């Protein structure tokens, strides 16, 4: 096997993106296009003053959420300088003219995030989490079909003209038109990235950590295993080299199935692509685009190389954790100069790149070294294995006797241990020249069962049982552990004995959450009725004034007729006052009734008043639907006529929408969730409703942000109850968009996060959420200064475990 290979070195770093760089498109010799979580697409051209570097030449603004797939349209008559097609979390496919940097087409149709784009003889083919492929021609949708039963993560076009898709259902599918001609089965998890391997077949990258090369017949020609986490992308070069990128912070270069080089990055590597000359471009979560080369003339100068290694070093330090805390947050050795306060008090300090545990010896008034504390191996190392099982991290107590261990079981030697670890292997040195003993434990195991088996296997006294159990529970963060009622001691057949409790005590060990799932609906039930009536009276006076002007001018056309029909007389204004009086008296909602003329009057105003004057009328509608009789009577009007509510929603969304109309109408729709008689209507019109209000979360108006987030939360509750998986997926996408927004009202973000967590309790939606980086959203939320946001972030993080 010929494995002649030159190592890649840093050529340049491109900085400009303000968040994770998610996608790369190599635009021939013209430059590089990149997409980002910062909602932009950026185009980079070769720097004429330094052939090693690229400079940012265009920023393409138009997406309202993070951008993923991006592809290049080579120059043609329509786009002389070429074009860009991008897809985002906002469900949009946008087409850009590189000459002007302007958006020229907006392709709307997908219900969830756009994950892949392929060009097919002038057509655009897009894939989405909504499980569909859509074909667009000249800005219009010409074809759509469900290609998988789960989220589609990627689509590519083969030289033969066929399409290939990869999906969360773990398969690849080969398409001739909209007909599936072959399904490729072999990966054990989501297929995330695809590429063509010239004259050989198809490359796939998977969440199972592997890369596969498939013949078009479906045969696996080669499997490449080396990444220690999700593999996000794969690409090939005419030279036969393959590059892959991964969550493990490495881009790996492969030749003939052998990993020739691993290029470490200061963050997750979302994408990697070959330039035509064989150089490699990588997209990193630290916001940088990097180019790597084997050409000695193009290697970055010493200053930039030093800068890169400094970034790498800082990242590794920030990632290293000791007992669940960042290494850099531990105190240094100077902390040992402070005497302990009690015998057996423990302290973990930083010694170089390690965390070391010490215990206070009261008799000798000194800190005794216990041993090094370590979390799991970093991503570049294999996890420890015991009896054929893998475990996530271990504790190395290299100088602890068995006596010391039992003593330390009662103190907080590892109080910093990661609460959310799922499994562990404890290395215990019992002294006297005996070999290291392994104490393995998985979070799903019963600790009493684990303790008994370990003590018997190691020929240690069973009297240590409770101490070992306490040690396991303490050091895996299970402070509130309740024994599973189904547990039976494997040696006695009885329930486990827990000191201080009766032997028949039983409880559930299921995880508990602070804020999820959300039960019940939220509504906006406070109204300034006097202000509403005053505004309606003011607008009515304006209508009457317009009418008088036209009378004086002698114009008696249709305009005058419309004004006359829409304005209110004194009796009708009095009726509005009566409606408000009923709405104010909430204590009699169970018995008060509306006259039919009251609802008819409200419907007439909603239909006939000018759009700019609608918002106070909509505000009365918002309160009417909270009243049992009012909600029922309004529903009768909906069923008897054309859909008044959808007509109203479309009307207030007319560009440019009036913020007051958006606010009152989104709250009115949100209040419909109070009455189950509207549930079918809300499900039926879900897509259009969410589409109309989708821009609300990015509005500077905090009230509008909160109202939209509440609408999303109510939909999450309803669709979970109805077991509507398609609806849950769409609402999850909307909730993730809100959670991604930086300048967001705290209450709005909280409600969006609660919606995400509540939806994730359903297994189907949980997988989609994890595929789309909900763990990062949870991590950011946990760091919030807002207590309730941090708490729901912890709920979501626990769900992902």
pLDDT tens, residue by residue, 567-610: 888 888 888 999 999 998 888 888 899 988 888 899 899 888 99
Q: Strand, helix or coil at 183?
A: strand
Task: Summarize pLDDT for 212-263 with one digit per residue, the tens.
Answer: 999 999 999 999 999 988 999 999 999 999 999 999 999 999 999 999 999 9
Quote the pLDDT of residue 437. Answer: 63
Confidence of residue 476 (pLDDT cuts 50, 70, 90): low
Specify the residue for token string 């986490």.
229
- Residues of the chain above pLDDT 90, percent: 48
Instruction: Judge whether 289 and 17 are in contact, CB under 8 Å.
Output: yes
Question: Measured between alpha carbons, how far is 643 from 658 in angstroms, rounded to an integer?
Answer: 22
- What mean pLDDT comes out for the span 435-449? 68
Instruction: Judge whether 27 and 43 are in contact, CB under 8 Å.
Output: yes
In Å, the largest CA–CA distance within the chain is: 113
Quote the pLDDT of residue 412. Answer: 35
C-alpha distances out from residue 284 to 12, 20, 423, Å = 14, 6, 29
Confidence of residue 467 (pLDDT cuts 50, 70, 90): low
- β-strands 366-373, 102-107: how paired? unpaired
Which CATH class, in words, describes the domain spanning 693-800? mainly alpha
What mean pLDDT value characterizes the chain? 82
Instruction: Judge whether 246 and 252 are in contact, CB under 8 Å.
Output: yes
Instruction: Judge whether 207 and 190 are in contact, CB under 8 Å.
Output: yes
Question: Which of 132-141, 324-333, 368-377, 774-783 shows the lowest per-residue confidence on average (mean pLDDT)?
Answer: 368-377
Q: Strand, helix or coil at 162?
A: coil
Residue 83 has pLDDT above 70, yes or no: yes
The residue ranking higher by pLDDT, 471 or 773, is: 773
Residue 384 has pLDDT above 50, yes or no: no
The structure tokens listed for 170 are: 């773990």
- β-strands 393-397, 423-428: how paired? parallel
Residue 442 has pLDDT above 80, yes or no: no
Residue 394 has pLDDT above 50, yes or no: no
Residue 549 has pLDDT above 80, yes or no: no
The residue ranking higher by pLDDT, 648 or 494, is: 648
Quote the pLDDT of residue 436. Answer: 56
Quote the pLDDT of residue 497. Answer: 39
Question: Measured between alpha carbons, how far is 254 from 276 in angstroms, rounded to an integer?
Answer: 17
Residue 733 has pLDDT above 50, yes or no: yes
Quote the pLDDT of residue 419. Answer: 34
- What mean pLDDT comes out for the span 677-692? 91
Query: What superfamily would CATH give domain 10-318?
Result: YVTN repeat-like/Quinoprotein amine dehydrogenase (2.130.10.10)
Instruction: Judge whether 664 and 627 are in contact, CB under 8 Å.
Output: no
Question: Measured between alpha carbons, how far is 687 from 462 in angstroms, rounded to an integer?
Answer: 62
Task: Summarize pLDDT for 70-79 with one digit per residue, the tens.
Answer: 999 999 999 9
The residue ranking higher by pLDDT, 554 or 355, is: 355
Task: Summarize pLDDT for 604-618 with one digit per residue, the tens.
Answer: 998 889 998 999 999
Specify the residue for token string 């490359």.
203
Residue 208 has pLDDT above 80, yes or no: yes
- What mean pLDDT comes out for the span 377-394? 40
Question: Measured between alpha carbons, how far is 574 from 550 in angstroms, rounded to an integer?
Answer: 26
Residue 125 has pLDDT above 80, yes or no: yes
- What mean pLDDT comes out for the span 443-461? 70
Question: Measured between alpha carbons, how far is 358 from 767 in angstroms, rounded to an integer?
Answer: 42
Quote the pLDDT of residue 548. Answer: 46
Confidence of residue 764 (pLDDT cuts 50, 70, 90): confident
Select from 586, 587, 669 the least CA-distant residue to 621: 669
Three-point CA angle 78, 84, 90, nearest 5°: 125
Q: What count of residues does the chain have?
A: 801
Taking the domains of the chain in order of start, what are their residue ranges?
10-318, 325-374, 539-625+627-673, 693-800
Confidence of residue 389 (pLDDT cuts 50, 70, 90): very low
The pTM of this model reads 0.60
The residue ranking higher by pLDDT, 481 or 166, is: 166
Instruction: Judge whether 727 and 719 are in contact, CB under 8 Å.
Output: yes
Q: Which residues pair with 128 in a beta bridge?
A: 114
Confidence of residue 276 (pLDDT cuts 50, 70, 90): very high
Question: Measured between alpha carbons, how far is 518 from 525 in angstroms, rounded to an integer?
Answer: 19
Residue 282 has pLDDT above 90, yes or no: yes
Q: Strand, helix or coil at 541?
A: helix
Quote the pLDDT of residue 532. Answer: 92
Instruction: Judge whether 167 and 197 are in contact, CB under 8 Å.
Output: no
- β-strands 325-326, 321-322: how paired? antiparallel
CB atoms within 10 A of CB 388: 5
Quote the pLDDT of residue 403. Answer: 35
Residue 422 has pLDDT above 60, yes or no: no
Quote the pLDDT of residue 503. Answer: 37
The structure tokens listed for 567 are: 């304005």
């Amino acid at each position: 096997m010929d494995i002649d290979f030159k190592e890649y070195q840093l050529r340049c770093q491109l900085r400009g993106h303000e968040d994770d760089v998610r996608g790369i498109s190599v635009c021939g010799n013209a430059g590089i296009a990149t997409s980002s979580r910062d909602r932009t697409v950026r185009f980079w051209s070769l720097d004429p003053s330094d052939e090693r570097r690229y400079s940012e030449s265009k920023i393409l603004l138009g997406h309202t959420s993070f951008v993923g797939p991006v592809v290049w349209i080579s120059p043609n008559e329509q786009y002389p300088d070429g074009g860009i097609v991008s897809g985002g979390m906002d469900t949009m496919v946008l087409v850009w003219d590189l000459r002007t940097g302007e958006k020229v087409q907006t392709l709307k149709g997908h219900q969830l995030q756009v994950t892949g784009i392929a060009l097919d003889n002038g057509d655009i083919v897009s894939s989405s989490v909504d499980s569909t492929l859509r074909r667009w021609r000249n800005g219009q949708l010409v074809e759509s079909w469900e290609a998988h039963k789960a989220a589609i993560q990627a689509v590519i076009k083969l030289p033969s003209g066929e399409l290939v898709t990869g999906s969360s259902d773990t398969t690849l599918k080969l398409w001739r038109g909209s007909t599936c001609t072959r399904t490729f089965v072999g990966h054990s998890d989501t297929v995330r990235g695809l590429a063509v391997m010239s004259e050989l077949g198809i490359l796939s990258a998977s969440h199972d950590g592997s890369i596969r090369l498939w013949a078009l017949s479906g045969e696996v020609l080669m499997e490449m295993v080396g990444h220690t986490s999700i593999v996000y992308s794969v690409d090939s070069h005419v030279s036969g080299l393959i590059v892959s990128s991964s969550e493990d912070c490495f881009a790996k270069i492969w030749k003939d199935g052998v990993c020739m080089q691993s290029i470490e990055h200061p963050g997750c590597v979302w994408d990697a692509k070959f330039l035509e000359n064989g150089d490699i471009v990588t997209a990193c979560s630290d916001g940088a685009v990097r180019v790597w080369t084997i050409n000695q003339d193009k290697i970055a100068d010493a200053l930039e190389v030093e800068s890169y290694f400094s970034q790498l070093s800082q990242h590794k330090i920030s990632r290293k954790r000791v007992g669940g805390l960042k290494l850099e947050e531990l105190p240094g050795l100077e902390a040992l100069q402070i005497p302990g306060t009690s015998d057996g008090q423990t302290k973990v300090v930083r010694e170089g790149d390690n965390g070391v545990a010490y215990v206070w010896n009261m008799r000798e008034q000194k800190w005794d070294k216990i041993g090094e504390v370590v979390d799991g191996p970093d991503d570049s190392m294999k996890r420890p294995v015991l009896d054929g099982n893998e475990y996530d991290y271990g504790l190395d107590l290299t100088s602890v006797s068995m006596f010391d261990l039992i003593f330390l079981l009662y103190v907080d030697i590892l109080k910093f241990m990661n609460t959310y670890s799922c499994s562990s292997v404890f290395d215990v040195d019992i002294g006297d020249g005996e070999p290291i003993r392994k104490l393995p434990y998985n979070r799903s195991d019963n600790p009493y069962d684990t303790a008994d088996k370990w003590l018997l296997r190691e020929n240690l006294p069973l009297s240590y049982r409770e101490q070992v159990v306490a040690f396991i529970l303490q050091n895996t963060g299970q402070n509130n552990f309740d024994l599973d009622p189904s547990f039976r001691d494997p040696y006695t057949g009885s329930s486990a004995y827990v000191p201080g409790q009766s032997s028949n005590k039983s409880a559930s060990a299921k995880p508990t959450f602070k804020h999820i799932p959300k039960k019940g609906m939220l509504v906006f039930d406070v109204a300034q009725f006097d202000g509403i009536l005053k505004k309606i009276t003011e607008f009515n006076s304006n209508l009457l004034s317009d009418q008088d002007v036209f009378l004086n001018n002698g114009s008696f056309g249709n305009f005058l007729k419309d004004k006359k029909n829409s304005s209110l007389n004194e009796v009708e204004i009095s009726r509005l006052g009566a409606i408000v009086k009923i709405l104010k008296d909430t204590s009699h909602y169970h018995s008060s009734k509306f006259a039919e003329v009251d609802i008819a009057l409200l419907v007439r105003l909603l239909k006939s008043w000018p759009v700019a004057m609608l918002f106070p009328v909509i505000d009365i509608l918002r309160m009417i639907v909270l009243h049992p009789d009012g909600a029922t009577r309004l529903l009768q009007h909906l069923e008897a006529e054309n859909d008044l509510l959808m007509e109203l929603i479309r009307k207030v969304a007319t560009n440019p929408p009036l913020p007051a109309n958006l606010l009152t109408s989104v709250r009115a729709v949100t209040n419909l969730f109070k009455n189950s008689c509207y549930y079918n209507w809300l499900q039926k019109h879900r897509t259009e409703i969410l589409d109309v209000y989708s821009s609300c979360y990015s509005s500077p108006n905090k009230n509008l942000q909160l109202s939209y987030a509440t609408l999303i939360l109510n939909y999450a509750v309803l669709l979970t109850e109805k077991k509507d998986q398609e609806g849950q997926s769409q609402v999850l996408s909307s909730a993730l968009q809100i959670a991604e927004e930086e300048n967001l009202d705290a209450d709005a973000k909280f409600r969006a996060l609660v919606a995400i967590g509540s939806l994730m309790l359903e297994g189907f939606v949980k997988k989609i959420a994890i595929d789309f980086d909900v763990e990062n959203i949870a991590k950011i939320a946990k760091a919030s200064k807002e207590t309730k946001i941090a708490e729901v972030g912890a709920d979501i993080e626990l769900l992902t475990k």
